[in-house]
Amino acid sequence: MLIRYLEKLGRYVINGLELFGAVMLLVGQTIYQLRHRPRLKHVFVQMSHLGVDTLPIVALTMLFTGMVITLQTAHEFIRFGAQSTIGGVVAIAVSRELAPVLTGVVAAGRVGAAITAEISTMKVTEQIDALKVMATNPVAYLVVPRLIACMIMLPLLVVFGDVIGTFGGWIVSTYYAGISSFTFIQSIDAFTVAHDVNGGLIKSVFFGAVIAIIGCYQGLNAPEGAEGVGKATTRSVVGSIIVIFIANCFMSLILYR
Amino acid sequence: MIKLIEVSKEFKGRQVLQHINLAVHKGETLVIIGGSGSGKSTLLRMMIGLIPPSSGEIWIKDAEISHMPERKLDEIRLSMGMVFQYSALFDSMTIGDNVAFGLRQHKKLPEAQIREIVAEKLRLVDLDGYENSMPSELSGGMKKRVSLARAIAFEPEIVLYDEPSSGLDPIMAAKIDDLILHTQRMLNVTSVVVTHDMNSAFYIADRIAMIYEGELIALGTAEDIRNSTDPRVREFVLGQSRQKGEMSR
């Protein structure tokens, strides 16, 4: 019984390490391909597709997250006479954690899934082979522009997320908790420093890379057939979200010690 | 032009191809025939380096490609083109962009010249004026022709065709056969065609090779194959397995 359990555990560990190794190989190949200047047109197309089109859902998520966090905390703060700190607390929570992580999760669901679905469909319809036959490296052509686009666009989305999330907090604190705009803004000014925002942006650059690399890896290694596209897409989203949560914990430890 | 020496391929413990020795001469059209799952498409894919052989050597012109790094392989691939079984057109691009893809990637030509080449290749496959259409707007036969136009846009020395007439009606299949012959004569390319359509094979082939359960069992002119006494070849050529099946019903 114990042996079987250990065997199973061992198999999980080996599979996990194999997957990690394969993803790292793709990272290596992508870095190697970065020596050629990528076509800017491809990068801009991806930036528009992966970044701009994701803004509405990020805005919606962050608006209501900012609102609900204020809703949950405002009365407690007022009870303890700390209403003058609400703006700062909301801004710090949003910029350090909520905006980077939630934008990462939303982007993993929308952008990561789109990347995997597109590339895996290309794989099952032999389009990746067609690229190779025409002497075009699929990593240079497909992965590099997506990686650059995600690493640029995710921080930009997080900046919007920071502003919109804090705005959501302001709406609730002003119109629901009765705190004046002046107190809210003064509190942000007093408690928030540039590092709070910068740390969130650094995280989001990494999350962008995670989403692009995992999305592309799952797409390029999708099992055959329509079912394979579905499986690869699910793995991409789940994998990206797991890595984002784990990486966020360690990055917060390092960035905000 | 293409030479395979003792090429074998194994997939997950299953022997797909065994000890294939085959040479394709410059300017000829070699047709590889065989039943479904016989390994003929695998053989074609190995010729362009999409799949490495488990053992043996594959020579394209003067280079052995079976263990060549991808970067060097790309240089060889620039002199080759391939028409895929399901066309493999880039569905996010227009027909014009599909045909121009290789030119834009590898040749620094002015856009006007690229457009000229695209129009010429599309004219060659009877699809002039379709530059701005999307692949989803085209029929299967038209897609195959675009795939051929894309394969020859770079003026390759070798063109590989994977089941070019499968899934097409007889008229369209005959049209594709004519295009293969026309391309071969016009550009003097070396062609390797994988098919299980015997009418097509006899029509376009200079020589025919037959793969049976991963082995090369026959190689010769269309006449040689037609007159072969090997029962496995005769069965395939005459479609006797089907006739037998029908009789026993």
Structurally, at CATH architecture level, domain B25-53+69-248 sits in 3-Layer(aba) Sandwich (3.40)
Q: Which residue has the tokens 């599309």?
A: B122
Radius of gyration of chain B (CA): 18
CA dist., res. A63 & res. A157, Å (int)? 13
Chain A residues close to B164, C-beta within 8 Å: none
Partner-chain residue, chosen from B50, B78, B90, that has the shortest CB–CB distance to A135: B78
- Closest approach of B174 to chain A, Cα-based (Å): 24
Report, as an integer, the average pLDDT of B56-76. 89
What is the pLDDT averaged over residues A252-256?
92
Question: pLDDT confidence of A7, banded at 50, 70, 90?
Answer: very high
Report whether pLDDT(B48) > 80.
yes
Instruction: Flag whether the pTM goes above 0.80.
Output: yes
- Range among A37-46, A111-120, B119-128, B216-225 with highest mean pLDDT value: A111-120
Mode of pairing for the β-strands spanning B190-194 and B29-33: parallel
pLDDT at B243: 47
pLDDT bucket at A245, cuts 50 / 70 / 90: very high
Report how many Cβ contacts below 8 Å link chain A to chain B: 50
Does residue A147 belong to any structural domain of this protein?
yes
Contact with chain B for residue A29, Cβ under 8 A: no
- Smallest Cβ–Cβ distance between B88 and the set A118, A127, A137 belongs to A127
Q: Considering its fold, how many domains does chain A have in total?
A: 1
Beta-bridge partner residues of B30: B192, B207
What is the per-residue pLDDT across A89-121, written as a single tens digit (0 to 9) for each?
999 999 999 999 999 999 999 999 999 999 999
Q: Is A181 on the interface with B (CB under 8 A)?
A: no
A134 touches chain B (CB under 8 A): yes
- Tell me if A82 is assigned to some domain: yes
What pLDDT, on a 0 to 100 scale, did the predictor assign at position A128?
Answer: 94
Q: What is the mean pLDDT of residues B133-147?
A: 90
pLDDT interval class at B34 (50, 70, 90): confident
Q: Is residue A50 part of a domain?
A: yes
What pLDDT shows up at residue B240? Answer: 45
Whole-angstrom Cα distance, residue B22 to residue B20? 6
CB B83 within 8 A of CB B161: yes
CA distances from A229 to A18, A120, A237, B6 (A): 21, 6, 12, 36
Per-residue confidence band for A53, with pLDDT thresholds at 50, 70 and 90:
confident
Taking residues A210-225, what's their average pLDDT? 93
A-chain CB neighbours of B88 within 8 Å are 125-127, 129-130
Are the C-beta atoms of B158 and B79 separated by less than 8 Å? yes
Q: Taking 50 as the threshold, does the pLDDT of residue A74 lie above it?
A: yes
Residue B59: per-residue pLDDT = 93
The answer to whether residue A183 sits within a structural domain is: yes
Q: Taking residues A61-73, what's their average pLDDT?
A: 94
Mean pLDDT of B120-127: 88
What mean pLDDT is predicted for residues A150-157? 95
**Residue A250: CA atoms inside 13 Å, Cβ hemisphere, count?**
7
Question: CB contact, 8 Å: A72 with chain B?
Answer: no
Q: Of A39-48, A234-243, B62-71, B216-225, where does the model show the most confidence? A: A234-243
pLDDT above 60 for B249: no
Nearest Cα to A160, choosing from A250, A27, A30, A51?
A51
> Per-residue confidence at A59, pLDDT binned at 50, 70, 90?
very high
| Alpha-carbon span B34 to B44, nearest angstrom | 12
pLDDT band at B62 (very low <50, low <70, confident <90, very high): confident
Whether residue A22 lies inside any domain: the answer is no
What value, to the nearest 5°, has the Cα angle with vertex A37 and ends A31 and A42? 95
Among A46, A121, A133, A141, most B C-beta atoms within 10 A, so best to mutate, is A133
Q: Do A135 and B77 touch (CB under 8 A)?
A: yes
Residues of B near A (Cβ–Cβ under 8 Å) read 45, 48-50, 70, 74-75, 77-78, 80-82, 84-86, 88-92, 101-102, 105-106, 150, 154
User: How many other C-beta atoms lie within 10 A of the C-beta of residue A49?
Assistant: 17
Percent of chain A with pLDDT over 90: 79
Q: State the pLDDT confidence band at B245, using cuts at 50, 70 and 90.
A: very low
User: How far is it, in rounded angstroms, from Cα B213 to Cα B222?
Assistant: 21
* pLDDT above 50: residue A142: yes
Q: Which is it for the CA torsion B85, B86, B92, B95, positive or negative?
A: positive
Residues 106-125 of A with CB under 8 A from B: 118, 122, 125
* Residue A14 domain flag: no
Q: Is the pLDDT of residue B247 over 50?
A: no
- Per the domain annotation, does A67 fall within a domain? yes
pLDDT class of A161 with cuts at 50, 70, 90: very high
Contact criterion met (CB below 8 Å) for A240 and A112: yes
Measure in Å the smallest separation between the Cα of A134 and chain B Cα atoms: 6
Q: Which two tokens stand for residue A56?
A: 């509405």
* Domain enclosing residue A135, as ranges: 37-255
Tokens of B225: 């194959």
A26 lies in a domain? no
Residue of B nearest to A126 (CA): B88
| C-alpha closest to that of A142 among A23, A30, A229 | A30
Contact B87, B135 (CB under 8 A): yes
Chain B residues near residue A115 by CB distance under 8 angstroms: none
From the CA of B225, how many Å to the nearest CA of chain A? 31
C-alpha to C-alpha distance for A44 and A54, rounded to whole angstroms? 15
Mean pLDDT of A193-216: 95
For residue A158 the two structure tokens come to 């997080």
Asked if residue B202 lies in contact with residue B31, where contact means CB atoms within 8 angstroms, the answer is no
Question: Mean pLDDT of all residues in chain A?
Answer: 92
- pLDDT surpasses 80 at B167: no
